[in-house]
Amino acid sequence: MSLSAKSILICAMLAVMALSVSAIAQSPATAPNTQPVSAAQPHADSYQLSGVQLHHAIAITRVRHILTIVGILWSLLTLWLFLALGFAAKLERYCQGRFHLSFFQGAFYFIFFFLIMTALDLPLSLYGHHVEQHFGVSVQTWSSWFGDFTISLALELIFGTLLLLLFNWIVRRSPRRYWFWSWLIIAPLIVFGTVVSPYVEQLYDKVEPLNQHHAALSTKLDPLVARTGTDIPDSRRYIALVSDKSTGYNAYVTGLGATKRMVIWDTAAAHMPDDEILFMMGHESGHYVLHHLPKQIVIDIFITLIAVFLTAKLGERLHARYAAKWQLGEYSSRAGFTVLFLALSIVSQFLSPAMNAVSRHYEHEADIYGQEAIHSLVLNPQQTAIRAFNDLGAAWLEDPNPNLFFDIWFGNHPSTTDRANFAAHYDPWANGGHGQFFDK
């Protein structure tokens, strides 16, 4: 039975990898994007690509979709096999035999668990990076990629292990209400994560003051900051030096309170016109002015409550049905507790469309806000927004004909095509009217 399951899993993986390779083979390799990559006409009324760039966008999108589905199925299957083949029970017995103190038994169990799951996921991650390199979206060297991978793994091993030890202890102390007490711990961690996110980002990318590299651009942001009231002074505007990793463009506002800052990727600052960057920052400013961040935090906390409750109930059912067959022991044991990982993976897939729908709504509002925010700062806000979306989509090789299922289930932003089409038709001042967020 187990050998059959392994054989089917290996065959499925080979099949989808073959489909991915086929998609790449149909498209010639492209050199890294070191020049402006907009293939759109300056006055296009929607997101457009043509020629080789369109061919590449279609091919890489197909591979991205395949890897997304395979990644989800692979994660679920590896968790299932880890439990069903008795590896969880064997790992717990091993840790109990090697360490006398319960703390170290649990710590090393979760460390080994993280390392095993990471090793099983690594081939897909490596292949995904290879694909991005092949199409020129990523220019990150393998040594740099493994450096970022090591940082992520270290953070997961340190903080993830400590949290799981705490949650496992809560299960033992409160077998009926453990999900609620766990949620009470997770809720403030969501807020804390938002506050410290700028510092975490600096572990991966070098960030320097914007005025040291693009003083004129930083000055041009002053009227936008004044118009939006975001109160982000020149001292908290930064440029992220990512051109040795990616050819994509990005800009964002991150942090909370004293850690709030504007960040622009050096790729965008080097290749996108200043008016398009103003639109991007107007969009990001909208997230703050419209209180999307605190709203999202509240929603995340509420969704987390639902998620931990459903995870607990599903985990309890899985344990009740398979504990003896999988030799898991008590629900509060480390092996029994591992059932919750499988339950959480299942629950999160069904909750993600709702969470992404909220995110897309906020992104759409921010698009409206950004286009209105630059109304008096650029000559043509509509064309500026259209060109910005075309440049962004072309840099990331976004397919102009998006897949509706993937947009709804996995997309936390509206498709580039939808965003550009909306920008082309949004002009609230055309007949003497006013915008949703600005009167003029």
Instruction: For residue 204, report the phi and psi dihedrals to the nearest 5 degrees.
Output: -105, -40
What does the block give as tokens for 398? 């976004």
Neighbours of 253 (CB within 10 A): 20
Residue entry with tokens 């590449």:
56
Alpha-carbon separation of residue 5 from 1, 273, 368, 418 (angstroms): 6, 54, 50, 42
CB 179 within 8 A of CB 308: yes
Of residues 431 and 391, the one with the higher pLDDT is 391
Q: With cut-offs at 50, 70 and 90, classify the pLDDT of residue 257.
A: confident
At 352 the pLDDT is 94
Q: CA-CA distance, 424 to 48, in Å (whole number)?
A: 13
Q: What pLDDT is stored for residue 255 in this prediction? A: 84
pLDDT range class, residue 250, cuts 50, 70, 90: very high
pLDDT digits (tens, 9 = 90+) for 372-400: 999 989 999 999 999 999 999 999 999 99
pTM: predicted TM-score of the whole model, two decimal places = 0.86
User: To the nearest whole percent, how much of the chain has pLDDT over 90?
Assistant: 80
What does the pLDDT look like over 17-30, one tens digit per residue? Answer: 444 444 444 444 44
Res 19: pLDDT: 44
Distance CA 257, CA 236 (A): 12
Looking at residue 1, what is its pLDDT? 40
Please, which pLDDT band fits residue 271 given cuts at 50, 70 and 90?
very high
245 φ/ψ angles, rounded to the nearest 5 degrees: -120, -40
324 pLDDT exceeds 60?
yes
Asked if residue 374 lies in contact with residue 224, where contact means CB atoms within 8 angstroms, the answer is: yes
Contact 259, 236 (CB under 8 A): no
Please provide the size of the chain in residues. Answer: 440
Residues 202-213 have a mean pLDDT of: 93
Predicted local distance difference test score (pLDDT) of residue 236? 87
pLDDT of residue 432: 79
pLDDT tens per residue across span 147-205: 999 999 999 999 999 999 999 999 999 999 999 999 999 999 999 998 999 999 999 99
User: 213 and 243 in contact (C-beta within 8 Å)?
Assistant: no
Sequence-distant (6+) residues with CB within 8 A of 39 are: 48, 49, 50, 51, 53, 54, 390, 394
What is the model's pLDDT at position 241? Answer: 97
pLDDT mean over 68-76? 96
Give, in degrees to the nearest 5, the angle at Cα 208 between 227 and 271. Answer: 70
16, pLDDT greater than 90? no
Mean pLDDT of the chain: 89
Judged by DSSP in three states, 204 sits in: coil
Alpha-helical (H) ranges within 327-437 are 334-337, 339-373, 381-396, 404-410, 416-425
How far apart CA 16 and CA 131 sit, in angstroms, is: 14
Question: How many CB atoms lie under 10 A from the CB of residue 91?
Answer: 20
Residue 215 CB: number of other CB atoms within 10 A? 12
Residue 431 is predicted with a pLDDT of 74
Q: What pLDDT is recorded for position 55?
A: 96
